[in-house]
Structure 1
């Protein structure tokens, strides 16, 4: 995080030493799951010998639901507690007193890309079979339409224009398949049933968080607006109508983690994680209110975006118009009014046919 231009160093509150311990605990948890060499093992032994370090590490184990780590820890530190009901009760009674440090630890884990530290299993368990859906739904929207849906688990799902999803919840899983379009979801917390959004060969998993997924013309973009999500490639183990009820094979190769305020174009061969401002997030989510906001985008990009909200094909018939900049707030359910506004302000003529709108310059 950088200081704002008007912020002086005197206004910056340094993190307490405990917060640095929390960051170190996050790092050790990642390293332990990835595997330690002899030197790292000795260093961890020394680090855990300090009671504050040991307690903080156990808190991280509880936070990330990584109780299996304790059995590995017992090999490194003989007197370390093994996973048991007693240990679980002890961890449940630990209290987080450093909310700022928690956020810092999440960001740290995000930067480390969870090397070997994944929500996902790379292979389905042998005893996993297709389950019975306790809740299922198919939902879609028409061009120019948007809707919100309250799901069985308490999550809220929004669908943007021309979108389609299949939803299946079982006793152990929550799965949403995005076939086309755009969704935003606020995920209800349920550690026993992580929620997966499947689209274009990518599985986006969260326990309790909020994120936006757009799948349009082969492009898949993810924006995280709250919490943490992990992304991995997947393949179905079944291809019939029950595919959402059966386990999927998820690959941990090239998996990535995104935290609040980050985005990624997942359809790119080498996807990267980039920051996104609060203003840009607000603009991106304005469709939930039936609005679309442009802040200086080129006309060619505006036309591509507007085309999502109509069943007509919008064509730019004059290439010299392509780089004209557009700014304004428009209603997504009235594309004709948007086109008329563009025509009035940019000296553009419009030619309508049954299924096409052609834009040309009135300037010769």
Structure 2
């Protein structure tokens, strides 16, 4: 069962929002943030007065956020926590790392094992690969993330 957890699509059935293979979905969240799930993706949402949290269970999302709330917008993957300050960015969770591509605006990357709890600031046009230990600048992908 443990080995099959990544191979089976069980997250699709238990997630708050999900897409099947070949399907994409656009959603407007309660705070006005726009979220697009790419094909074969799944997320859980936790929105209340204390937090605005999107947990990416599998796949890729495109987030359009603005400074509409004093509570930060957070995207969590198994490799780190991404704080959308403003703008537009994609988060793609892969087996060994998470790829962050900032289309516009700024995103703070909080890696779980960053020394002293420091975060990395990603700016418009930057791509990062984040794993359990570090966040490193990635070569740009062959196409525009947006």
Q: 1:141–1:160: 8 Å Cα contact kept in structure 2?
A: yes
| Cα separation, 1, equivalents of 2:32 and 2:96 | 30
1:253 partnered with 2:117: yes
| Cα separation, 1, equivalents of 2:54 and 2:116 | 20
Q: Match of 1:169?
A: 47
Aligned 1:191-230 pairs, distance under 5 A: 191-230=69-108
Q: Match of 2:129?
A: 265
| Cα separation, 2, equivalents of 1:259 and 1:275 | 14
Across the two proteins, how many residue pairs are aligned to each other?
132
Cα shift at 1:185? 0.5
RCO (CA 8 Å, sep 6+): is it higher in 1 or 2? Answer: 2
Q: 1:232–1:251: 8 Å Cα contact kept in structure 2?
A: no
Q: 2:79–2:132: 8 Å Cα contact kept in structure 1?
A: no
C-alpha distance after superposition, 1:262-319 (max 9, x if no partner): 0011127443224748x732xx34xxxxxxxxxxxxxxxxxxxxxxxxxxxxxxxxxx
Which of these two proteins has the greater Rg computed from alpha carbons? 1
Q: 1:230–1:258: 8 Å Cα contact kept in structure 2?
A: yes
Q: Secondary structure of 1:209's match?
A: strand
Give TM-score scaled by structure 2 length: 0.78
> Which protein is richer in helix relative to its size?
1
Q: 2:110–2:120: 8 Å Cα contact kept in structure 1?
A: yes
Cα shift at 1:208? 2.2
Indicate how the Cα distance of structure 1 residues 232 and 157 shifts in structure 2: closer, same or farther if over 3 A, else same: same
Q: Secondary structure of 1:261's match?
A: coil
Give TM-score scaled by structure 1 length: 0.33
Q: Match of 1:239?
A: none
Indicate how the Cα distance of structure 1 residues 173 and 145 shifts in structure 2: closer, same or farther if over 3 A, else same: same
| Cα separation, 2, equivalents of 1:269 and 1:172 | 28
C-alpha distance after superposition, 1:22-80 (max 9, x if no partner): xxxxxxxxxxxxxxxxxxxxxxxxxxxxxxxxxxxxxxxxxxxxxxxxxxxxxxxxxxx
Long gaps (5+) in structure 1: 1-136, 236-249, 286-364
Indicate how the Cα distance of structure 1 residues 274 and 217 shifts in structure 2: closer, same or farther if over 3 A, else same: closer
Long gaps (5+) in structure 2: 1-14
Cα shift at 1:189? 1.7
Q: Match of 1:147?
A: 25
Cα shift at 1:197? 0.0
Q: Match of 2:143?
A: 280
Q: 2:25–2:37: 8 Å Cα contact kept in structure 1?
A: yes
Q: Secondary structure of 1:217's match?
A: coil
RMSD, aligned α-carbons? 2.5
